[in-house]
Amino acid sequence: MAAAAPPDLSPRTLTGRHVRLEPLRDAHVEALAAAGAAPSIWTWFPQDFGTPAAMRRFVAQALAWQQAGTAQAFVQVDAASGAVVGSTRLAQIDAAHRRAEIGWTWLTPSAQRSAINTEAKYLLLRHAFETLGLMRVEFKTDSLNEKSRRALKRIGATEEGVFRRHMLTESGRVRDSVWFSVVDVEWPAVRAHLEQLLARPYRDAA
């Protein structure tokens, strides 16, 4: 069986009506640090990236993974204002098995509970399945993060199970993580569902 062609991970911008996902660069550190200053953003992250120094580490990690060919990292830009409002990542890219994870996602409080989060997921999933040719996209979240779990179910992801004692957080708490996924055969229905959500005014669940 021939090996799968490696996906094209060259930098690209994914554009929607509410959000624009632009390739992450070192030059974004200052804007991301300002957007990520609220402590509430990092409640469910294994690490707190709420200081400029921590945000530099966050960006450096993302760019290192990108250089290694295992990630595409983005800043989330509010399409209406042009302001940087957060970051997200397509990571853990496994070309041999055509899978990846959407994660490392956060938004500044003023952009939360808006269409930005839903549309960003839509753009990343469309890119993963229709451009990169993946067959599986995963999501992980803290088992205690009920808001995130509801939001992932709302976009059409399937909850697969709990990885117990999966991660040791910066605070010392041991985190159980919940796995969700969307697979390629589900994508047409998930895409239609997301397009319906985005076609009407609503308050986002995440």
Q: What DSSP state is assigned to residue 151?
A: H
pLDDT, position 200? 80
pLDDT, position 115? 94
Residue 203 has pLDDT above 80, yes or no: no
pLDDT, position 202? 55
Q: Whole-prediction pTM value?
A: 0.93
pLDDT, position 110? 93
17 near 198, Cβ under 8 Å?
yes
d(CA 12, CA 165): 36
d(CA 146, CA 131): 31
pLDDT, position 164? 97
- CATH class of this structure's domain 14-198: alpha beta
Per-residue pLDDT tens for 159-190? 999 999 999 999 999 999 999 999 999 999 99
Residue-range domain boundaries for the chain: 14-198
pLDDT, position 36? 98
Residue 204 has pLDDT above 60, yes or no: no
pLDDT mean across residues, the chain: 94
Higher-confidence residue: 152 or 204?
Answer: 152
What confidence category does residue 205 fall into, taking pLDDT thresholds of 50, 70 and 90?
very low
Per-residue pLDDT tens for 98-112? 999 999 999 999 999
d(CA 121, CA 136): 14
Alpha helical stretches, state H, the chain: 29-35, 52-68, 115-126, 146-155, 187-198
Per-residue pLDDT tens for 22-58? 999 999 999 999 999 999 999 999 999 999 999 999 9
13 near 20, Cβ under 8 Å?
yes
3-state helix, strand, coil in the chain (%, to 5): 35, 30, 35
